[in-house]
Chain A
Amino acid sequence: MRLGLEIAVTGLILVASVYVVAVLDLVLGRLVAAAPLRLAEAVVRPVRRGALLFLQRPPRTERPDQALWILAPALLGAIAAAVLFVMPLGPTELSQSSGMRDVDAGIVYFGALMALVMVAVYLHGWAPNSLFPMVGGYRFVALALSYEMPLALVLIGAALPARSLSIGAIVDAQAGLWNLVRQPLGLPLYLVAALGLTFRGPLNVSDAADLAGGTPAESSGVALLLWALGRNAILVAAAAMGAAGFLGGWRGPALPGPVWMVAKSLALVAVLLGVSHLVGRVRLERFVIVAWAVLIPLALLDVFAAGAVALLAGRP
């Protein structure tokens, strides 16, 4: 059945890319730390760490909200899976032949799902009934409300030349020129928002070291593993959207579509992980002011510039 095949493909991509993210994180960390890197060890280490967490006792605190605590990492995983499902891996004619994969309003769907990330992180912070995770959850809500706007706006800018909200159409509209070139503000703003989406590096306000680990402070064992996997999965999903929206998705010479899509997504993953190793955590209040006073006007500028360009291009 076609749906079954699509689900299997999505699952496979998810699992493989989560593992690759873990390895990339390790490799980039070693590079920044100027430490020796043995590739064989780097490839096995995430698996070993995962196995260790499997053998550790799952968490329990005094009066947690156990159902929501278990649900929160699962929600991250589900969001990532659903987002990766609609990422086009090849020409839309193939995807649309059975109506699978290409949602009519792709970026609305993406925005709606990524809004649930805030819910997942907040629940993960609230559920253990412990101070540091709770503070992490509340901090993340402030961050999420601030990065949502630039995220949605730059994607609208990417949709303007395509005259459609579906991701397949956005990729098709980049046949001549990538959105990275047409809308230079788009990808940098998107990457900042993606850093917040996956709460990494400068925008890691929820899982921060100054909160003794933040929302997973009371987590251990398989719960901790699933949270980390969910986080990596969201990173992959955000990178895939960035690749589709700004780097031309599956389009590219010589190599087949899926290979280009994977390569571009991994490139964005590497950029995000690199930034997370080089730039420290922001002061939340400062970032909120910057987001509202600088990033949103820049995103609006991006949208209107894209609109003007599209109008000029559309005019015969």
Chain B
Amino acid sequence: MAALGGALVVFLAGLVAWLGVRALGDVLAPPGTTAAERVPFTGGVPPTTHAWSRYHARYYTMALLFLAFDMEMVFMYPWAVVFVDEGIKALVEMLMFIAILLLGILYAWREGALEWA
């Protein structure tokens, strides 16, 4: 647990370091902007709308598939630790689990979840 505590401190230290350099840069840099300087770049013509929108992330079906596999990962982590002690039984059980999920990928592929354009 001490390692995780140390890791948290390092994480925060990294954040602080990067933010500190950003603050330094803000101080050193020339100040001020005008409205025209803030226009987002699309090649020279100002955009007509804000970019923030309900973006059509077409890969949402693939994201669902990812959820399923992520849950499988959760099971594989402890399995990896006890696997050698448990022997061939553990291998076969995990194989069955994975086979079911692989069928899931096959189904998703056939249904076009992976091709969205």
Binding site for B on A (CB under 8 A): 3, 6-7, 10-11, 14, 54-58, 60-63, 70, 73-82, 85-86, 98-105, 107-109, 111, 126, 128-134, 138, 141-142, 145-146, 148-149, 152-153, 156, 159-161, 163-165, 212, 217-218, 221-223, 225-226, 229-230, 285, 288-289, 292-293, 296-297, 300, 303-304, 307-308, 310-311, 314
Contacts and interface: CB of A to CB of B under 8 A. Distances in A.
Contacts of B51: 128-131, 133-134
A277 to B, nearest CB: 26
A60 B10 contact: no
Given A62-B50, A74-B18, A218-B41, 12 more contacts: A11-B17, A80-B14, A104-B3, A134-B52, A142-B62, A145-B66, A222-B22, A226-B18, A229-B18, A285-B114, A289-B109, A292-B105
B3 A100 contact: yes
Contact of B14 (A81, A103, A222, A297): A81
B76 interface: yes
A114 to B, nearest CB: 13
12 contacts: A56-B29, A57-B29, A57-B31, A79-B11, A98-B2, A134-B51, A142-B62, A163-B80, A165-B81, A300-B98, A304-B94, A310-B83
B13 to A, nearest CB: 6
Contact of B109 (A76, A131, A132, A293): A293
B111 interface: no
B102 interface: yes
A57 B37 CA distance: 11
Contact of A82 (B1, B14, B91, B94): B14
- Contact residues on B (Cβ < 8 Å of other chain), bracket: 35 or more
A160 B94 CA distance: 13
A149 B70 CA distance: 7
Contact of B83 (A54, A81, A292, A307): A307
Contact of A73 (B18, B28, B37, B65): B18
A86 B3 CA distance: 8
Given A108-B77, A226-B18, A129 B59 contact: no
B14 A74 contact: yes
A78 B14 contact: yes
Nearest to A163: B84
A6 B85 contact: no
Contact of A60 (B33, B59, B63, B105): B33
Interface string B64-105: 011001100100110011111101100100110010001001
Contact of A222 (B26, B47, B105): B26
Given A86-B7, A160-B83, A311-B84, A289 B29 contact: no
A307 B6 contact: no
Contact of B25 (A54, A152, A293): A54
B40 A311 contact: no
A101 B25 contact: no
